[in-house]
Structure 1
Amino acid sequence: MRLLNVHTRQLKDFTATKIPRYAILSHTWGGDEVLFQDLTNSEHKKKNGYAKIEGCCQQAIIDGFDFVWIDTCCIDKSSSAELSESINSMYAWYEKAVVCYIYLVDVPSAQDPYEIDSAFRKSRWFTRGWTLQELLAPSKIVFFGQEWDIIFNDSVMAEHEERKSRRADLPRQRMVLLEQITGIGTKYFEIEFGEASAQIASGCKFSWAAMRETTRPEDAAYCLLGLLQVNMPLLYGEGSKAFQRLQEEVLKKNQDLSILAWGFDMTWRETSLRKNMGLRSYGILAPSSYYFKNFPVSLSKFTNHLKLATHSMMTNLGLNINLPLICINSSQGIYLALISGWTVARLGNKHEAFVLPLLKREDQLFERLPGSPPVISVTLTKGSNRRIKWKSIYLMEPKSSPMTWKPRKFNLINDLDFLFFHPSQYTSEHSGFQLYHNQMITAGFSVRSVFPPGFNDSASHLTWEFLSRNFEIILVLSRNNTDCCVICVKGRTTSRDRIRISKMSISRCQPSLSAWQWPHHLAMTVGSTDLKWGSTVRFDSDPEKKAEYASLELNTGVASWHGNFVGIVINHHGGADR
């Protein structure tokens, strides 16, 4: 480890057994930093970045330290070997420091950090990927403003921080403030993080980094190595593949299935937009930590107790892993893979479990069910443990071939009748269906989930080419997670160029409802007179009947260059909005 002498401003190397007491600096990089090679040049003090080095050294002298570690000048970044070793060791260096000075260059002096609109809350330091481990790893942290004044000074503490906590450097109120800014629960600031880190779900750690940024795409993975307690070589230039490698290393080390719980409670529109940016959606592992942004807190307590019968490894077929499965219908190949909850299934009471909807391709080959959310929560009921069977499977990347789907109902593992859709043989017929949702999008709604898959998306409508005789379209729309509706359209293809619509409905539903999971009576739990979204609309019903906020309008004969389509327009009634 290389440290900077605060008195001489000279660097000195130490072996692992002879490292002295030192302070460590956490900061955000600017455009004119003092690098390792610059210290040999007498002109380095003229650089803008030298001010923070001087401030750090002066503070260390006050606190009685002879050495400090600063990443800008203590690492020779021209050496790829040294850079790789330093990044893999960095978490440990922050953890072993006596104190971490957190320097916020964008926070002016004498400002109350607890104010709702304070510069402290908005500091760039809280948005960077590397600073996550620098917040959690040290045993003691001290925040400094741009003039190297202590942000949480005596007057601030006297006004806001009366309650003590287990950590002398972090009163309870300050932990709450940090939770509000970072989304990291206060309990994680109270513990000795290094010792307890192995008991925290990897998915939970990814969620803390979900909205943080790094300058280079590879660093979005490398900055998490220490938090996840893994080591791997650095390959700058690999781009987003670094995050894939990171997840594979986590699975090799601790079998934490929370790493498969990405995409929870994300709308279809969100995943669609991310895919257009060059990231894969609905694959085996998450494309980035962004997909863990809604990671369910309750999942971490289950993943602490996973005991898998076999190891997992990435192969040319996919991720080979041993999972507890519930077969929904063997002939159609629909399964649920439990990543939590099976250890309490034998208790006999209802409880929440998180599952991966899977489609069986061959004997051991499975993929995530197209069109469904990557992970969902279900309620397991008494006796469901008898249906759980452990199986070694290969979780594959999804097939790219087009598919259509036909519906069937089953009595599932809970009190609801879930509607599943299953693949049928691909044909070349061109009759199809278009669902126009542009009025709802303009009114502030977003597409939360869609079924079946294999549709084309545009700003105004969704298009399917139906290849099976009977079909059912499910579309879930939501606005601010409060107004939520499900649109259902049933029909059949009667010939190559004709489609007969047998039923259309638009109903209020719960925000947690997924399109592939459509339980009719769940959406109708409120009496029809109280429904914001109205009840079922059939062709033999009053044609003037409309829902309070929206209605469905059949528009036959929609022209398309690649076939004959039936269209349905979702009309939004703006005057009914509240």
Structure 2
Amino acid sequence: MSLSQECELDITPYATPQRYRRIDCDRFIQDEMLYIDEFADFPPVQYAAMSYVWKGNPFEPCEVKSHHRFSVAGALDGDPISIHVLSQACLAAVKHEARYIWLDRLCIMQTNREDKNWQIRQMSAMYKRCNPCIVLPGGVQKLVRIDEETAWIHRGWTLQELLMPERALVLLAWKLGAGSVMAGDAFGTVSEVTPNESAVMSAADVLNACVVGYIEFTSPRPPSPLLIRSCVFGAASPNLYATSVAMSEELASDPDARNHAIWQSALMRTSSRPVDMVFSIMGLFGVILDPKMFEKEDRIGATVALAKEILRKGGRASWLGMSFRLPPCSALCTFPVFAETSVSGKALVRTRTGLREVAEFVDGEYPNELGLGTPLPGGAMDDDGYFTFSGRAVHLVPGTSELDHKHEDKNIDLSRRLITSTNGRVWEIVSEEHVRGSTSLGNTHGVILGWFQDYYPGASLAHNKHYIKGMVVEEHAPERFHIVTFFSLHLRDREWVKSWQEHRFSVGGPNPLTHKRYTGGEMFDENAAHRLQEVDNAYGKDERHIAAARARWARSQVEAEDYLLKYT
């Protein structure tokens, strides 16, 4: 098929539903013709899969006329595809021994629901078996530089596209030639695709560069080395940190750390369809849900289905503690409130003062099983979203006085056994004997979740030692509990916490799942949510200041050399 400027392409009249399709790179490069081959079975050929955002970085007005583009029927809400970008992607694939590429915009029948549902179920396999995955951070209509910020890391599907493949490369606009790069302590290479125009780098290297804030580039060309500001995946943020944990070979070897990072990353991402926030990560847990079973707004129903299947297969509740500063979802309290979703932009939550970015309420933490010698809890979840598990716990009653938050041991008074929770309330621990001898005490518990370690690249964590995290649960129906708030304890309380007795809980609700058309948007008081910074994480501010200062220093070092990437 020949492509002309601003044409609209529709493969539906020529394609067969529920077939695997690939774009022939050689024919597109050599003949300037678009050939899409169709296969009844998964094709036994090496191919590259594209990862991109539906609505990417816009052209400058002066650039539009110089780029031929075309649209796809059924996907007109997305950016047109640049023939130049598609050509560069094909060249990159061929240079890495892949004859074909898979681009969902062209390889899925966008006007056929049957084909779409079938293709969604194949998506995780599509990325797992590709070699390589080629990331287009700025979308399909322009190549961006490494110092141009994009929305790629905020999109739901891109997480799976990064983590599933054996190899992921980022295709960038690049005029500095081939060479080597260092991002933090990691070394990598830059390989040209088209000289003086484009190049690819390892996705892990680019991610590290964005976390650190810059890369050090060395090449035969003088002057060398160069410090180059890097923010194509954004500046240092909880989303970057979580994705870094999931990508880290060392940290991701711990299933709890990796899976928690996946849930946390997904919490801070968004998509045009709420249910896609579940479909986009299910393959990372080895679960395939049937999209036909859920309406596009049914995020909460799909979340329950995914959690149930993870636990049924022997997995653990790695979603617990995604955010200790967001309030629990009112109908599925083991999860925080869900963000509002959109076709572009960032994940947002509705507060009393307006929409706020979810990442503002997420800390760079990951669970570490070694801290307490136990992993996150396993168990089972029922159709109503109640998670049944066993965990170390103590009985709590409301405290009678406030603690002095300036005191080093503000989170617990060892003489009175007082705990201050995220929402600023003080709770007093009562003994098992006291509970058994009383008929007036309510049924409230402090339940330990685990040991959560801070992740701050480039900063030494010398002061923040409140690693032990727990949740306050309250009984609202016979043997049914809901999460009220969270708390943290000092690392020196480790042995004491290990002595807590095991209790069995069924935690969910407290509101019933009367309907599952849940798109997010629960309003909450963000001032209460921010109290964790004042109460549980005060010492962490020092580390944040260190990290911020180092990031500012890194930026100041590269600003003078930014012009090298402007191509003026």
TM-score, scaled to structure 1: 0.53
Write the deviation string for residues 201-225 of structure 1: whole angstroms up to 9, x where unpaired.
5332122233322122222222112
Question: Which amino acid in structure 2 is aligned with residue 355 of structure 1?
Answer: G
Out of 452, 455, 475, the position equivalent to 1:360 is 475
What displacement does 1:316 show? 4.6
Q: Does 1:325 align with 2:393?
A: yes
Out of 204, 211, 224, the position equivalent to 2:268 is 211
Question: Which amino acid in structure 1 is aligned with residue 26 of structure 2?
Answer: H
Residues 25 and 159 of structure 1: CA distance in aligned 2, closer, same or farther (over 3 Å): same
Question: Which amino acid in structure 1 is aligned with residue 249 of structure 2?
Answer: I
Write the deviation string for residues 421-451 of structure 1: whole angstroms up to 9, x where unpaired.
xxxxxxxxxxxxxxxxxxxxxxxx97236xx
What displacement does 1:388 show? 1.2
Residues 63 and 71 of structure 1: CA distance in aligned 2, closer, same or farther (over 3 Å): same
Question: Which amino acid in structure 2 is aligned with residue 213 of structure 1?
Answer: T
Write the deviation string for residues 347-368 of structure 1: whole angstroms up to 9, x where unpaired.
xxx9843222111345522222
Aligned equivalents of 1:151, 1:228: Cα separation in 2: 39
- Counterparts of 1:273-288 in structure 2, within 5 Å, are 280=330, 283-288=333-338
- Match of 1:258, SS state, is coil
Question: Which amino acid in structure 1 is aligned with residue 21 of structure 2?
Answer: R
Aligned equivalents of 2:380, 2:245: Cα separation in 1: 31
Residues 62 and 363 of structure 1: CA distance in aligned 2, closer, same or farther (over 3 Å): closer
Aligned equivalents of 1:48, 1:386: Cα separation in 2: 60
User: Is the Cα–Cα contact under 8 Å of residues 244 and 287 in structure 1 kept in the other structure?
Assistant: no
- Match of 1:123, SS state, is coil
- Match of 1:101, SS state, is strand
Residues 34 and 304 of structure 1: CA distance in aligned 2, closer, same or farther (over 3 Å): farther
CA RMSD of superposed structures (Å): 4.5
More deviation, 203-212/172-181: 172-181
Aligned equivalents of 2:290, 2:87: Cα separation in 1: 33
Q: Does 1:22 align with 2:47?
A: yes
Aligned equivalents of 2:142, 2:115: Cα separation in 1: 37
Q: Tell me the equivalent position of 2:131.
A: 98
Q: Does 1:179 align with 2:247?
A: no
- Match of 2:318, SS state, is helix
Aligned equivalents of 2:271, 2:283: Cα separation in 1: 16
Residues 65 and 363 of structure 1: CA distance in aligned 2, closer, same or farther (over 3 Å): closer
Q: Tell me the equivalent position of 1:294.
A: 362
Q: Tell me the equivalent position of 2:527.
A: 447
TM-score, scaled to structure 2: 0.54
User: Is the Cα–Cα contact under 8 Å of residues 257 and 339 in structure 1 kept in the other structure?
Assistant: no
Residues 196 and 84 of structure 1: CA distance in aligned 2, closer, same or farther (over 3 Å): farther
User: Is the Cα–Cα contact under 8 Å of residues 98 and 131 in structure 2 kept in the other structure?
Assistant: no
Write the deviation string for residues 291-346 of structure 1: whole angstroms up to 9, x where unpaired.
785256242446995486x841214583333333323443321212222269xxxx
- Counterparts of 1:522-561 in structure 2, within 5 Å, are none
User: Is the Cα–Cα contact under 8 Å of residues 366 and 396 in structure 1 kept in the other structure?
Assistant: yes
Q: Tell me the equivalent position of 1:398.
A: 510
Question: Which amino acid in structure 2 is aligned with residue 294 of structure 1?
Answer: V
- Match of 2:527, SS state, is strand
Write the deviation string for residues 469-501 of structure 1: whole angstroms up to 9, x where unpaired.
xxxxxxx969xx5xx5xxxxxxxxxxxxxxxxx
Aligned equivalents of 2:211, 2:383: Cα separation in 1: 39
Aligned equivalents of 1:19, 1:281: Cα separation in 2: 45
Out of 332, 336, 340, the position equivalent to 2:446 is 336
Out of 155, 171, 178, the position equivalent to 1:154 is 178
Higher RCO (CA 8 Å, separation ≥ 6 residues):
2
Out of 366, 378, 381, the position equivalent to 1:313 is 381
Q: Tell me the equivalent position of 1:238.
A: 297
- Counterparts of 1:33-432 in structure 2, within 5 Å, are 34-35=71-72, 48-105=81-138, 113=146, 118-119=147-148, 122-145=149-172, 149-150=173-174, 153-154=177-178, 157=180, 164=187, 170=202, 174-179=206-211, 181=234, 182-184=240-242, 186=244, 188-191=246-249, 196=253, 198-234=255-291, 235-241=294-300, 242-266=302-326, 271=327, 280=330, 283-288=333-338, 294=362, 297-301=365-369, 306=375, 311-316=379-384, 318-328=386-396, 329=430, 330=435, 331-340=441-450, 352-361=467-476, 363-369=478-484, 373=485, 375-379=486-490, 380=493, 382-391=495-504, 393-398=505-510
Tell me which structure has the larger Cα radius of gyration.
1
User: Is the Cα–Cα contact under 8 Å of residues 175 and 189 in structure 1 kept in the other structure?
Assistant: no
Aligned equivalents of 1:213, 1:151: Cα separation in 2: 32
User: Is the Cα–Cα contact under 8 Å of residues 23 and 37 in structure 2 kept in the other structure?
Assistant: yes
Runs of 5+ unmatched residues, structure 1: 39-45, 343-349, 401-444, 450-475, 485-508, 514-578
Residues 66 and 376 of structure 1: CA distance in aligned 2, closer, same or farther (over 3 Å): same
Residues 221 and 321 of structure 1: CA distance in aligned 2, closer, same or farther (over 3 Å): same
- Match of 1:256, SS state, is coil
Residues 238 and 160 of structure 1: CA distance in aligned 2, closer, same or farther (over 3 Å): closer
Q: Does 1:3 align with 2:22?
A: yes
